[in-house]
Amino acid sequence: MNSSPWWKEATIYQIYPRSFFDSNGDGEGDLPGITSKLDYVKSLGVDAIWLSPFYTSPNKDGGYDVANPRDVDPRFGNLEDARELITQAHRRNLRVIADIVPNHFSDQHEWFQAALKSKRGSKERGRFHFYDANEDGTPPNNWISLFGGPSWTQVEDGQFYLHLFDSTQPDLNWENPEVNADFEKTLRFWIDLGVDGFRIDVAHGLIKEDVLTNHPDPQGLSNALRLDVAMDSDERNALLLTVPYFDRQGVHEIYRKWRKLFDSYTGREIMAVAEAWVHPPVNATRYVRADELHQVFNFDLLTAEFDSDVLFDVVERSISLNATVNALPTWALSNHDSPRVASRIGDEQARALALFVFGLPGSAYVFAGQELGLPDGQLQDSDRQDPTFFRTNGAIKGRDGARVPLPWGGDTKPFGFSTAKPWLPISQSWKDFTIENELADPKSSLHLYKNALELRKEFLVGAGGITWLESSQHGHKSDSLLSYSRGAITVVMNLSDSTKECDAEGKLLIVSGGTVDARDGKKVIPARSTAWFLT
């Protein structure tokens, strides 16, 4: 028996339920749709699925506006469908991670509705952040929402409530013990239904400080917190050190309590991964101290350039910082909040980077569609649904491009995703990206992922740390090659636009693109490509 917990070096497949597969012909994916495709998911060689929210929600922020965290939204099915999904996943030895959203509720949650009907100072308002207006009628402070516009919305009696995201997502007051009690109930509810872990949304945001104090540069801060706003990195880093509502010490007390709850399920190995965008990077390690959570997302690869120095720094920093708390890193190239990696850095580069990352110690997260090499969907403004687009009056296009439904098969859009018009349009140009097509093509991105994940399991899971062979600080100091060895495998990535020779020894196991040649005892790695060798 493997004594290592299942999540430690797992590959976890993120499913955005609305975009995965529509089983009932309403143009939106649903839970039975996911269940019906679990054989496909299993065939990828992943260990677990992470489901983005499917709870009762008015869907103002893609389900991250939860109106009832202990029920399923009818657009996705019902609780029986959730139970069946979990049962069928477990039957295939796939673990299930649910997404929990503790920073805020939807304004349609019964607590918020009760707060609206109650007086200032009431118990009902005390579950959120309600404050009086300033004397001049302005909001209690000048914070700007992460989706643009003010962080405060006024209610009928003149009080304001805080929302770091959309105005339909009131922030919860975690100083109020009722809030934690309710979330512990929710955690138990899903664990009892069978889930194996949680992805914790905005895990760094629950505790606020200085709620009545203005920030000296609220717009700068809001820009610094956005991946889609370009900014000088020194300026960004300086601003990120001044966020009054993220990464406060109090959040760790919450996760220590939750850890006890998880561990009370003996024999279950319940895990949790924190979505914590914190600065400086060393702070992320606090979330994975032995008595807190199990993993924390490393978001650096969502924005990193395809550059050997940048990638070396990201990998080295993440491995070494996590080691200080005896944790392993996580790696993610795409998710539902950021541009798809193939669009961001290029198709071949995305394949090369995936193969590079699959060799590393820790957990790899794969966003559904990434295995196909999908680009971002091309959308008209009239198609967009992301609140960011609306709250910035269209200045920021938002995240819908990464959320376009998956193309399953056939020659015409929507490529088997639905029998109806999909909730976001799928372009006819995705014909070559369908799962059916890629399954038939041994050189496809899909086959690369399947083969790589199989080899990862066979040779790399549990193989310990890496030894750098090529970087600007190792080996021949080439700025085109990054290479490490781990266990019996040597991984070489050529980032340049021409072939490069390297000293790697052993038998070629897999290459992300092109053909590896041998010349004068050296291996010749194709441009923009990664290869694994078995020594």
Two structure tokens written together for 54: 């499917």
39 catalytically annotated: no
Q: Which residues contact 222 (CB under 8 A, 6 or more apart)?
A: 144, 145, 146, 148
Identity of residue 53: P
57 vs 490, which CB is nearer to ligand NOJ?
57
DSSP-H helix ranges across 144-269: 177-193, 218-224, 233-240, 250-263
77 vs 398, which CB is nearer to ligand NOJ?
398
Exposed, middle or buried: residue 116 (CB in 10 Å: 0-12, 13-18, 19+)?
middle
Spatial contact of 206 and 251, defined as CB atoms under 8 Å apart: yes
81 vs 275, which CB is nearer to ligand NOJ?
275
Contacting ligand NOJ (CB under 6 A), which of 9, 61, 371, 470? Answer: 61
Two structure tokens written together for 154: 């006024």
Cis peptide before 414 (omega within 30 of 0): yes
63 vs 513, which CB is nearer to ligand NOJ?
63
Rounded CA separation 207/199 (Å): 18
172 touches ligand NOJ by CB under 6 A: no
Two structure tokens written together for 65: 């506006």
202 vs 491, which CB is nearer to ligand NOJ?
202
85 vs 203, which CB is nearer to ligand NOJ?
203
275 catalytically annotated: yes
Rounded CA separation 175/179 (Å): 8
Rounded CA separation 49/12 (Å): 5
Rounded CA separation 364/333 (Å): 9
128 vs 165, which CB is nearer to ligand NOJ?
165
- Nearest approach in angstroms of CB 408 to ligand NOJ is 24
Rounded CA separation 293/403 (Å): 28
338 vs 437, which CB is nearer to ligand NOJ?
338
> Which region, judged by CB under 6 A, interacts with ligand NOJ, from 60-68, 111-119, 355-363, 512-520?
60-68
Q: What angle do CA 332, 336, 338 make, to 5 degrees?
A: 70
**List 30, 47, 61, 275, catalytic entry:** 275
Residues 459-488, interacting with ligand NOJ (CB under 6 A): none
311 touches ligand NOJ by CB under 6 A: no
64 touches ligand NOJ by CB under 6 A: yes
- Nearest approach in angstroms of CB 367 to ligand NOJ is 11
101 touches ligand NOJ by CB under 6 A: yes
CA atoms within 13 Å, Cβ hemisphere of 10 = 25
- Nearest approach in angstroms of CB 337 to ligand NOJ is 5
> Which region, judged by CB under 6 A, interacts with ligand NOJ, from 61-69, 211-219, 355-363, 482-490?
61-69
What residue number has its CB nearest to ligand NOJ?
Answer: 64
Rounded CA separation 515/524 (Å): 9
- Nearest approach in angstroms of CB 61 to ligand NOJ is 5
**List 201, 247, 348, 376, catalytic entry:** 201
Identity of residue 310: V
Residues 272-301, interacting with ligand NOJ (CB under 6 A): 275
Q: How many CB atoms lie within 10 A of CB 253?
A: 14
- Nearest approach in angstroms of CB 99 to ligand NOJ is 8
Rounded CA separation 405/22 (Å): 9
Beta 271-274 vs 197-200: how paired, if at all? parallel
Contact mark string toward ligand NOJ, 191..220, x via CB under 6 A: ----------xx------------------
- Nearest approach in angstroms of CB 20 to ligand NOJ is 16
Rounded CA separation 392/320 (Å): 38
- Nearest approach in angstroms of CB 74 to ligand NOJ is 21
76 touches ligand NOJ by CB under 6 A: no
389 touches ligand NOJ by CB under 6 A: no
Question: What is the three-class DSSP state of 508?
Answer: strand
- Nearest approach in angstroms of CB 478 to ligand NOJ is 37
Q: Which residues contact 113 (CB under 8 A, 6 or more apart)?
A: 107
> Which region, judged by CB under 6 A, interacts with ligand NOJ, from 56-64, 137-145, 441-449, 493-501?
56-64
337 touches ligand NOJ by CB under 6 A: yes
Q: Which residues contact 25 (CB under 8 A, 6 or more apart)?
A: 418, 419, 420
Residues 224-283, interacting with ligand NOJ (CB under 6 A): 275
**Count of residues engaged in binding ligand NOJ, rule: CB under 6 A:** 10
Rounded CA separation 108/168 (Å): 8
Contacting ligand NOJ (CB under 6 A), which of 13, 152, 165, 533? Answer: 165
- Nearest approach in angstroms of CB 274 to ligand NOJ is 12
Q: What angle do CA 140, 146, 147 make, to 5 degrees?
A: 110
The catalytic residue positions are 201, 275
List residues near ligand NOJ by CB under 6 A. Answer: 61-62, 64, 101, 165, 201-202, 275, 336-337
